[in-house]
Amino acid sequence: MSKRLNKEIILLAFSTSSKRLSVALTKGEKVVKEINQSAGLLHSQKLLPAIATILSSLCLSIEDIEAFAIDIGPGSFTGLRIGLATLKGLVFGRKKKVIAVSSLEVLARKTAEHFLSFSLPSCSLFPIIDAKQEKVYTAIYTAKKKENKIVLKRETGYQVLNIRELLRRIKKRKQVVFTGDGIERYQDIILSEKKEIRFAEHRFWFPYASVISEIALKKLKRGEVEDIERLSPMYLIPSPFA
């Protein structure tokens, strides 16, 4: 086994839920190395090489990783299956902790950290992941700053909604921020229904593995770990009535 970096927990996180692949290794709360690259439909070809690149650059092996974290969806069905299958292969026969995080929470936290640090004291935040046919995977969050920390609260369950129905539900809200790849497809519809909207920049539309790790560490401290044998993707299959 290669030499440990130090006594802080070493965690490997990755995201395959979108068109972009993200892999990060963290040591405690410090991001040691992160790779973000376009993957399209090639996660199965790019994920393991990205993990190998990070480990070899730090002279580490899989045995040195104490915990693994993954965004479990919603998102690309194929990407989610590849990510989970890879994770199961990595932890097979090893006593490693596994933490699962919602892709929507990852988007919301990254965007909240940006907007609340630079422009807004608080906001209603809507991560939207394209589910096709004018539907989005989403949840409603509120975000505010308290004692120089970002407080993010989810107000609804994870759901799939028609974009126009979502806009009707949030019509009276102010300081509204949208993030996620659903912006690319539905920005015109959003602006036609509600003018006072802020959109996150393109770089915030996809989950970052470093943010997955940030959320996972908090869950790990609370003892919220997964049984890898029972873990399954959060698909949120679109309903024809949504």
Percent of the chain with pLDDT over 70: 95
Q: Superfamily assignment of 104-204 in CATH?
A: ATPase, nucleotide binding domain (3.30.420.40)
Give me the pLDDT at residue 238, please: 54
In CATH terms, is domain 10-102+206-221 a member of 3.40.50.300?
no
Q: Are 126 and 141 in contact (CB under 8 A)?
A: yes
Residue 1: closest CA among 93, 65, 52: 65
Tell me: pLDDT of 241 over 50: no
Any idea where the domains of the chain sit in the sequence? 10-102+206-221, 104-204
Query: Tens digit of pLDDT for each residue in 24-63?
Result: 999 999 999 999 999 988 999 999 999 999 999 999 999 9
Q: Which residues are CB-contacts of 171 (< 8 A; sequence separation ≥ 6)? A: 193, 194
Give me the pLDDT at residue 41, please: 83
Backbone angles phi, psi at 226, to 5 degrees: -105, 150
| One fold for 10-102+206-221 and 104-204 | yes
In this prediction, residues 122-127 reach a mean pLDDT of 94
Query: Tens digit of pLDDT for each residue in 130-142?
Result: 999 999 999 999 9
Give me the pLDDT at residue 116, please: 87
Backbone angles phi, psi at 115, to 5 degrees: -65, -40
Burial 181-205 (b: 16+ CB within 10 A, else e): bbbeebeebbeeeeeebebbeeebb
3-state percent breakdown (helix, strand, coil) of the chain, nearest 5: 35, 30, 35
Distances (CA, A) of 26 to 69, 90, 101, 212, 234: 11, 17, 16, 10, 24
Give me the pLDDT at residue 231, please: 96
Query: Tens digit of pLDDT for each residue in 49-103?
Result: 999 999 999 999 999 999 999 999 999 999 999 999 999 999 998 999 999 999 9
Give me the pLDDT at residue 239, please: 42
DSSP 19: S
pLDDT class of 11 with cuts at 50, 70, 90: very high
Give me the pLDDT at residue 119, please: 72
d(CA 102, CA 71): 5
Query: Tens digit of pLDDT for each residue in 167-218?
Result: 999 988 989 999 999 999 999 999 998 778 999 999 999 999 999 999 999 9
